[in-house]
Amino acid sequence: MAPKKSTKKPAASPRRRSTKPALYKAADDELISFYQQMLLIRRFEEKAGQMYGMGLIGGFCHLYIGQEAVVVGIQTALKDGDSVITGYREHGHMLVGGTDPKAVMAELTGRSGGCSSGKGGSMHMFNPEKGFYGGHGIVGAQVSLGTGLGFAAKYRKTDNVSVAYFGDGASNQGQVYESFNMAQIWDLPVVYIIENNQYAMGTSVKRASSEIELCRRGESFRIPGEQVDGMNVLAVRAAMDKAVKYCRDGKGPYILEMKTYRYRGHSMSDPAKYRSKEEVQKMRSEHDAIDQIKAVILDRGLMDEADLKAADKAIKSRVADAASYAQECPEPALSELYTNVLA
Amino acid sequence: MAIEINMPALSPTMEKGTLAKWMVKEGDTVESGDVIAEIETDKATMEVEAVDEGTITQILVAEGTEDVPVGQVIAILVEEGEEAEASPDALPEPTKPVVETKASAPADVPAQDVFVEPSAPVVAVTLADPAVPQGTEMTNLTVREALRDAMAEELRRDPDVFVMGEEVGEYQGAYKVTQGLLDEFGPDRIIDTPITEHGFAGLGAGAAFAGLKPVIEFMTFNFAMQAIDHIINSAAKSRYMSGGLVSCPIVFRGPNGAASRVGAQHSQNYAAWYANVPGLKVIAPYDAADCKGLLKAAILDPNPVVFLENELMYGESFDVPVLDDYVLPIGKARIFREGSDVTLVSYSITVGEALKAADMLAEQDISAEVIDLRTIRPLDIETVIESVKKTNRCVIAEEGWPQCSVASDISAQLMEKAFDYLDAPVTRVNSVDVPLPYADNLEKAAVVNADKIVTAVKAVCYSE
Ligand SMILES: Cc1ncc(C[n+]2csc(CCOP(=O)(O)OP(=O)(O)O)c2C)c(N)n1
Ligand SMILES: [Mg+2]
């Protein structure tokens, strides 16, 4: 692609999180749907953690508990034809992207009914039909790949966008900056979502990053960036609507830094000695994404406590069904070992 | 509804653990996310969180109990106010395969020749390492401890040695190999990096140009692909390109190869890749003594060394000689077990499978000589050839893909250098030629095991 003429305004100054963040004005049914989607992720992940403990899930298993508002706020702003890519902490992305929880859980147990036929596992789930391209285990790789998905959207002259999610830790990989530069010189429609959950395994952002406001990481590439309260689904959605519009309008890439938090260890085998219990408890009790949206729902009188309980029960039983399916489903046939290596 | 709380699996490789502490007592109510117990694994102490809400009505395993198998019921929780319908949470007993506790010696091997360690793979008729003087005192160490001791000794000896990598310091190592080093040597020498492999591999190579002795840890070698340009283009080639003016005394180390169901991107063996490169030395040890003696040798070596460990071996224990400075020669294979009918060549974790296969073959009156290559580059082909002159048959077992593998290279060299001594085609036993799948049954089918080695040996011995 030819480099564009330098008609661009000077470096957009990155917008930090404002004291009064814009909040998405959700209709009643949207609000309930946000709540249900976040709760589905939470209950699903709790069950996955339990099944890992029982030895039904093997290898690495990274839970998304605590970060639910990010993926729900982002995914609901997309339309058909948009593409999405992320790392290994992708169960939530699969669920919100419309993959049946049964297929996700059966992938976790490595069974034939899993979304990757049992060959990928927790870290490698895909649903290209719905625009979801994985599920990648190499930290940072999804950023270049997501930039390529954005390149394809522009190459085909669509107004679709690509969303590349990555962590605070991943934001230190060199290929992230190679990608930023290309995305900006070619005006690629990529929204970079930095899921800043404050830790990369046991390393806090402070210990690993010279610039801890990760929304500013695009500054020297002239990519606008914004910091968002990633525990508030309405703030996430409002910021994403703006970023998506910017990309669809052909103005180039956009960076959103989601300040969020993971409640569980990095993976199931993380002793999590690098942070205090108080820190985790404080996030859970004061900033929990699901509690926040619950409060709005109660406030607007959309549901009462009994309705909320019933909703939770319905979701729990959906997850329980997924768990039973994932255990009853047979392992892949041995002949599957040799399939899908090449077309 | 009563829910059984089971002993959880807290890592991909955990089979049992110690129930260190209960954080709740009978009668306590818990919410999902509350810490209910602390469990010690071989790697760490971990907290167990409640998944369901309710009252703990029974604690079934006392605090302090060791070796509680994964899946055992440790407590009972009753959900509050739920009707007595079948709880969706009452999952059936996990179907974990029963773990064999102790392998028994084959019946036809004289008992006094059998050397069985509780946790180490079975080793029958093992030859003492010729590098260790007879009568040397031995201590039992895990591979993990042996590696750590090697680094600690070199850090003490030479102030130019430093260790750098992701989570090597404050976290005490992603796989606890660097445990304790930060405490002893401080943050100037045990350095935590951001996730930026290409950057710190290059930084390490540059520091080595300047005469320092970096030990660069990759969390696993899968991530060294981000850094392979510096390993090959910067570290391996600088001495040659500079006509000998520039040295790069650096060690790149970390776990290599498949672990346990971590999927295609986290399970690759890179031995053949690095072994292809002139200017590098490549070491892939099997037991704890070799890990110690060869890692020390790698740090002392004036060349760039790629040191390939194996995560599944970290917790295995072996005898390690108690010597002040136990340094093994790089480039020297070891005859692990003597035999006369076939030469079994292997390295790293697969040596264990080769030894198991040798036991199984002994029961069928086939005597296998097992060679542990230990170093892949320079390759000690002489030791292999000498053995083949005696056995006239060779099977090479390697956990890794067959094409352009270490096994392929040995096979080619035997054809060139020992053709006249061969009574059967040299045969390779490699992993199945596919990316490693996640599913338990498929993963088991894909990797090399003793049975596959036995089948190959019987074919070259024309015994079936
Ligand atoms: C290239 C590479 N290096 C190291 C790892 C090991 N690793 C997996 S996840 C992780 C931490 C990533 O943290 P972050 O990007 O903040 O994402 P989070 O896990 O917090 O979602 C590390 C070091 C890897 N998978 N790939
Ligand atoms: Mg993070």
Of B46, B199, B439, the CB nearest to A119: B439
pTM of this prediction?
0.89
How many angstroms is it from B157 CA to the middle of ligand 2? 37
Q: Which of A287, A293, A215 is nearest to A258 (CA)?
A: A215
Please answer yes or no on whether B226 and A173 come within 8 Å at the CB atom: yes
List C-alpha distances in Å: A248 to A153, A190, B353: 10, 9, 57
Amino acid at A207: R
Q: Which residues of B touch A51 (CB under 8 A)?
A: 91
Q: B224: CA distance to ligand 1 center in Å?
A: 13
CA distances from A190 to A84, A95, A134, B344 (A): 10, 22, 16, 54
| Domain residue ranges of chain A, discontinuous segments joined by + | 29-323
Amino acid code (one letter) for A322: A
Q: For residues B26-36, give the mean pLDDT.
A: 85
From the CA of A62, give the closest atom in ligand 1.
19
In whole angstroms, what is the distance from residue A214 CA to residue A217 CA?
A: 5
B272 — pLDDT class (breaks 50, 70, 90): very high
β-strand partners of B217 = B165, B253
Compute the distance between CA of residue A298 and CA of residue A306 in angstroms, rounded to an integer: 11
Nearest by Cα to B316 from B165, B118, B155: B118
Burial label for A145, CB within 10 Å (0-12, 13-18, 19+), is: buried
Tens of pLDDT, residue by residue over B325-360, are: 999 999 999 999 999 999 999 999 999 999 999 999
Query: B242 is written with which tokens?
Result: 């500079």
Neighbours of ion ligand 2 (CB under 5 A): A 167-168, 197, 200
| pLDDT score of B167 more than 60 | yes
3-class DSSP assignment, residue B453? helix
Pick the CATH number of B335-460 from 3.30.420.40, 3.30.2010.10, 3.40.50.920, 2.20.140.10: 3.40.50.920
**What per-residue confidence (pLDDT) applies to B102?**
34
- What element of type H or E holds B205? helix B197-209
Superfamily of domain B138-321: Thiamin diphosphate (ThDP)-binding fold, Pyr/PP domains (3.40.50.970)
CA distance B84 to B1: 6
pLDDT at residue number A201: 97
- If you average pLDDT over every residue of chain B, what do you get? 89
If you average pLDDT over residues B188-192, what whole number do you get? 98
Q: B96 pLDDT exceeds 50?
A: no
Q: Which residues contact A172 (CB under 8 A, 6 or more apart)?
A: A200, A208, A209, B194, B195, B196
Question: Which among B33, B51, B263 has the least Cβ separation from residue A50?
Answer: B51
- Residue ranges in chain A assigned as alpha helix (H): 28-53, 68-75, 91-96, 101-108, 141-155, 174-185, 205-208, 233-248, 277-287, 289-300, 305-328
HSE of B252 in the Cβ direction (CA atoms, 13 Å)?
36
Asked if omega into A135 is within 30° of 0 (cis), the reply is yes
Residue among A121, A320, A341 minimizing CB distance to B88: A320
d(CA B440, CA A101): 21
Q: Do domains B138-321 and B335-460 have the same CATH topology?
A: yes
pLDDT of residue B173: 96
Q: What is the Cα–Cα distance from B464 to B429, expressed in whole angstroms?
A: 17
| Domain A29-323: top CATH class | alpha beta
Residue B262 is encoded by which pair of tokens?
Answer: 């971590």
pLDDT per residue as tens, chain A (343 positions) = 555 554 555 455 555 555 577 999 999 999 999 999 999 999 999 999 999 999 999 999 999 999 999 999 999 999 999 999 999 999 999 999 999 999 999 999 999 999 999 999 999 999 999 999 999 999 999 999 999 999 999 999 999 999 999 999 999 999 999 999 999 999 999 999 999 999 999 999 999 999 999 999 999 999 999 999 999 999 999 999 999 999 999 999 999 999 999 999 999 888 888 999 999 999 999 999 999 999 999 999 999 999 999 999 999 999 999 999 999 999 999 999 999 999 9
User: Exposure pattern of A282-305 as b/e (b: 16+ CB <10 Å)?
Assistant: ebeeebbbbebbbebbeeeeebee
Question: Which pLDDT tens digit goes with each residue over B238-268?
Answer: 999 999 999 999 999 999 999 999 999 999 9
- Residue contact A139–B223, C-beta within 8 A: yes
Residues B417-431 have a mean pLDDT of: 98
Contacts of residue B110, Cβ cutoff 8 Å, sequence gap at least 6: none
Q: Answer whether residue B198 shows pLDDT above 70.
A: yes
The DSSP 8-state label assigned to residue B216 in this structure reads E
Distance A166 CA to ligand 2 centre (A): 8
Which residues on chain A are in Cβ contact (under 8 Å) with B433? 341
Q: Tell me the CATH architecture of domain B2-87.
A: Beta Barrel (2.40)
The per-residue pLDDT for B79 is 84
State whether B446 and A337 contact (CB < 8 Å). yes
Active-site residue list of B = 197, 266
**Residue B225 CA, closest ligand 1 atom number:** 1
What letter represents residue B178's amino acid? T
Cα distance between residue B41 and residue A21, in whole Å: 45
Instruction: Give the three-state DSSP class for A86.
Output: strand
Alpha helices in B313-401 (DSSP H): 350-363, 381-391
pLDDT at residue A14 in the model:
52
Residue found by looking up tokens 């034809």 in the block: A81
Domain parsing of chain B, residue ranges: 2-87, 138-321, 335-460
- Would you call B265 and A203 a contact, using CB atoms and an 8 Å cutoff? no
ipTM of the complex: 0.93
Q: Residue A9 has what pLDDT?
A: 55
d(CA A188, CA A212): 25
Q: What is the CA radius of gyration of chain B?
A: 24
- Measured between beta carbons, the chain B residues lying within 8 angstroms of A136 are 265
Q: What residues of A are in contact with residue B314 (Cβ under 8 Å)?
A: none
Residue B295, helix vs strand vs coil? helix
Q: Strand, coil or helix: what is A54?
A: coil
Q: Which residues pair with B306 in a beta bridge?
A: B252, B282
Specify the pLDDT at position B98. Answer: 36
Q: Is B87 exposed, middle or buried (0-12, 13-18, 19+ CB in 10 A)?
A: middle
Question: Residue B131: pLDDT above 80?
Answer: no
Tell me the β-bridge partners of A218. none
Q: Which of A54, A116, A138, A325 to mutate to test the interface with B (most CBs of B within 10 A)?
A: A54
Whether the Cβ atoms of residue A31 and residue A293 lie closer than 8 Å to each other = yes
pLDDT digit string (tens) for B449-464? Answer: 999 999 999 999 998 6
Q: Which residue of B has its CA nearest to A309?
A: B82
Query: Given an 8 Å threshold on Cβ–Cβ distance, is B437 in contact with A51?
Result: no
Q: For ligand 1, what atom is nearest to the CA of residue A166? A: 15
User: Ligand 2 mean position to A283 CA, how many Å?
Assistant: 15
